[in-house]
Amino acid sequence: MKLHYLLLDVFTSTPLKGNQLAVVTKADGLLDGEMQAIAREFNLSETVFLLRPHGERNTAAVRIFTPHEELPFAGHPTIGAAVVLGLTKKLTAVRIEEKIGLVTALFDRLGKNVGEARFGLPRLPERLAAMTNLPAIAEALGIAVEDIGCGVFQPAVFSAGVTFHLVPVRNAKVLKAISVNRAMWNTVFSHDHHSAYVFTQTPEEKDNDLAARMFGMNLGEDPGTGSAAAALIGLLAEQVTAEPGQAEFVLRQGHEMGRPCRITLQFRKDKGQLAHGGIGGHAVVVGEGELDLGD
Distance CA 93, CA 103 (A): 10
Other beta carbons within 10 Å of 16: 11
Q: What is the pLDDT of residue 219?
A: 64
Average pLDDT over residues 76-103: 97
3-state secondary structure 118-153: EEECCCCCEEEEECCCHHHHHHHHCCCHHHECECCE
Closest CA to 185 of 220, 160, 154, 212: 220
Q: What is the pLDDT of residue 272?
A: 86
Distance CA 62, CA 64 (A): 6
Catalytic residue list: 46
Average pLDDT over residues 152-160: 97
Question: Does 163 or 242 have the greater pLDDT score?
Answer: 163
Average pLDDT over residues 145-162: 97
What domains does the chain contain, in order, with CATH numbers? 2-119+282-292 (3.10.310.10), 126-280 (3.10.310.10)
**Mean of the per-residue pLDDT values of the chain:** 96
Q: How confident is the model at residue 145 (pLDDT cuts 50, 70, 90)?
A: very high
Distance CA 155, CA 134 (A): 8
Q: What is the pLDDT of residue 240?
A: 86
Using the predicted structure, report yes or no on whether residue 173 has a pLDDT greater than 80: yes
Q: Which helix (H) or strand (E) holds 60?
A: strand 60-65
Q: What is the pLDDT of residue 217?
A: 65
Q: What is the pLDDT of residue 243?
A: 65
pLDDT digits (tens, 9 = 90+) for 216-274: 866 689 999 999 999 999 999 998 876 667 899 999 999 999 999 999 999 999 888 99
pTM for the predicted model, two decimal places: 0.95
Distance CA 214, CA 225 (A): 7
